[in-house]
Structures are given as structure tokens and as C-alpha cells.
Amino acid sequence: MSIEKSPLRRKLDKLFVPLTVGPTLLWIAAIIVYPTAKLLFSSLQFRNPVTNELEFVGLRNFQRLILAREGSDAALGVFNPSFVSFTTNTVIYVGFSVSISFLLGLGIALLLDKDLKGRGWFRTAVIVPWILPYVMSGLMWRWMFQSDFGAINGALQRLGIISGNIPFLSDGALAMMALIIADVWVFTPFIIIILLAGLQNVPEQLYDAAEVDGASRWSRFWNVTYPFLKPSILVALTIRIIFDIRALDLVWVMTQGGPGKSTEVWASWLYRTAQVFNEPGTGAALGVVLLAVTFAIVASLYKIFGESPYEA
């Protein structure tokens, strides 16, 4: 290669950063910043049902969303009953899904971290559910839970555990349970992948030392594994929680928020408000709330866990 440098080459070299970063920044401005700004703007507008025009209404959408309307029933004193009940559903759904899949994922990750033959095969088999389209997984579980021809009723009957059919998806509490099972099925692989990567950071010698010291299994996990795993746990939980709050796919294809409104969560409420009821302003306001809650959760999780001394 030649050492001489033509002026053009030098000029192109000087432009390296602008030419490689500029297009991406422009793209991001157009496809992320602009829609987000428009979201904030839309949340302050309301579609007048008579004229079909968008009118500026200030914070009234947020008020309509969170607080009870005048003259109608209120929950917990002043709140919109829908807001309270859908928030409760979301907390139940996310809380159970995340904690069950976290414990399950941690257990499987610890098993897969052992020096086993055929570990690669197990790892492949274990992560597949997460790669499938969520819609297909949701419908698959709807079929599993179907009351007449579903595999779960069929298997329970064949084992002699039940005699009649359990109408899983037409009972509020059972439908929520079915949703949580589907969610755990889909997202546990994600926890496994992240925690398995974190387990690679634990130095082998520390285990040997702990064994020599006669540390119990529990104390080995708590004193050796956990400190090194903490950053991965933080990431896994953060991503898991914020992705579950926004998840529409499973809920929409399995229950559509029903029966009644017993599985209506924020995501399905937002979709219904914005698209089905054609109230973009209220939908956008809910979007802003979702955005704010997401950032608040991330910030507080990082605060709770703090900085780990063993940063990966």
C-alpha cells in the first residue's frame, strides 16, 4: 500500500466521523425523536367528536385518564376506576410473570452452568420459545387452554385429575393465570441467556476455595455466585419488567383483555383507546405515562441494586 496521501484521501479521512455517524443520527431524529415529540404533542390534544378536529386541551387527557370524571364513581377516593383496575391487572401480570420466570430461569441457568455433556443441545432446546413470534406463542397457549379440545384439559382428564372441562379462558382469575404461564414460557429463555452469561464471570477458584472451607451450597451461592451475578440480574430484571409492561401481543391474541376486563393491562388499554375507540389524545397520554413509568422503573432498579464492585 502506498504511503503518499492525496488531498482527497485526507479530506475523506477528516470526514470519517461525520459520514459514519451523521446518517444514523439523522435517521434516529426522523424515526425516534420526531415521533416521540409528536407523542408528547398529541397527548395534549383531543379529537372533538362533533367536528372531528383535534383541539388543544392541555393536561385534560391525563386528568381524564387518571382521575374519576365528575359525577361518576371514583375508586380510592378520586381515581378513575378503569385506571385503578387496569393498573392492578398490570402489576399482577408483570409481578407474577417476572418473579416466576426469574426464579425458574435462575435455576435452569445454574443447571446449565455445570460441566455437562450435551450442554449445547440443552441450551438450544431451552431458548427456542423466546425466538418464536409472540403471536404464535399466544395462540398456541390459547389452544392449549381451550376448554373442549385443548391439550391441558385433555391431559388432566386422561390422568384422572379432573372429570369435566375447566373453562380456563372464560374465568377472570384462570385467564390471568393462563396469560402468566404463557408469558413465563416465552420469556424465561431470555433470563437464562443473560444469567448464563453472567455466570461465566464467576472465577472457578472461588468455588474451589469455598468448597475447601466447607461452605454450604446456599452460602456458596450467596457469597460467591451472587456478587458476580448481580449486574446480570439487574439487567435481566430491568429488561424483563419494562418489556412486560409494554407487551400487547400475548394479551391481545389470548384474551383481548377479557373475560370482561379481568385481563385488561396498560398495553391493551392503550391499543383499545387509541385504535379501537379512536381517541388518539387519550391513547397518547397513556403512552406518555407508560414512557415515564418505564424510565422511573429503570432508574429505581439501578438505585436499589446500586453499583456492583464487580462490574462486567
Partner 1 sequence: MSTKKSPLNRLRRSLGLETQNEWPSVARERLLAYGLLAVYVLIIWFPIYYIFITSIKPSSEVLSLPITFLPQSPTAQNYVDIFTNRPFDNYTINSMIVATTTTLICITLGTVTGYSFSRFDFMGNKSLLLSIVGARMIPPIALIVPFFQIMSNPPLIGGFTGSLYDTRLALILTYTFFNLPFAVWIMKNYFDGIPESLDEQARIDGCSRWEAFVKIILPMAKPGIAATAILAFIFSWNEFVFALVLTSSEQAQTLPIAVSLFVADDFVDWAHLAAGGMIAALPGILFGLFFQQYIVSGLTQGAVKE
Q: What is the gyration radius of the CA atoms in the chain, in angstroms?
A: 25
Using the contact rule CB under 8 A, the part of the chain among 62-70, 89-97, 166-174, 290-298 near partner 1 is 290-298
What is residue 55's three-state secondary structure? strand
139 lines the binding site for partner 1 (CB under 8 A): yes
Among 76, 91, 132, 162, binds partner 1 (CB under 8 A): 132
259 lines the binding site for partner 1 (CB under 8 A): no
Using the contact rule CB under 8 A, the part of the chain among 60-68, 85-93, 169-177, 187-195 near partner 1 is 187-195
251 lines the binding site for partner 1 (CB under 8 A): no
What is residue 276's three-state secondary structure? helix
Please give the torsion angle defined by the CA atoms of residues 35, 40, 43 and 46, in that order, rounded to the nearest 10 degrees.
Answer: -70
Instruction: Report the site for partner 1 in 150-179 (rule: CB under 8 A).
Output: 150-151, 154, 157-158
Using the contact rule CB under 8 A, the part of the chain among 62-70, 74-82, 171-179, 237-245 near partner 1 is 237-245
Q: In degrees rounded to 5, what are phi and psi of residue 260?
A: 65, -125
Using the contact rule CB under 8 A, the part of the chain among 71-79, 83-91, 220-228, 285-293 near partner 1 is 285-293
Among 78, 131, 159, 304, binds partner 1 (CB under 8 A): 131
**CB 248 within 8 Å of CB 172:** no
In sequence order, the β-bridge partners of residue 79 are 67, 75
Instruction: Report the site for partner 1 in 64-103 (rule: CB under 8 A).
Output: none
Instruction: Find where cell 418505564 sits.
Output: 294
Among 50, 78, 117, 306, binds partner 1 (CB under 8 A): 117
Q: How far is CA 139 from CA 46, 132, 153, 302, in A?
A: 35, 12, 16, 35
Rounded CA-CA distance 282/203 in Å is 52
Q: How many other C-beta atoms lie within 10 A of the C-beta of residue 45?
A: 20
226 lines the binding site for partner 1 (CB under 8 A): no
304 lines the binding site for partner 1 (CB under 8 A): no
Least distance in Å: CB of 79 to partner 1? 21
Rounded CA-CA distance 25/84 in Å is 39
198 lines the binding site for partner 1 (CB under 8 A): yes
What is residue 43's three-state secondary structure? coil
Q: With CB under 8 A, what is the number of residues at the site for partner 1?
A: 95
**CB 272 within 8 Å of CB 248:** no
Which of 75/127 has CB closer to partner 1?
127
Using the contact rule CB under 8 A, the part of the chain among 56-64, 82-90, 220-228, 232-240 near partner 1 is 232-240
197 lines the binding site for partner 1 (CB under 8 A): yes
Q: How far is CA 2 from CA 6, 7, 14, 283, 308, in A?
A: 10, 14, 19, 61, 49
Which of 136/209 has CB closer to partner 1?
136
294 lines the binding site for partner 1 (CB under 8 A): yes
Which of 176/184 has CB closer to partner 1?
184
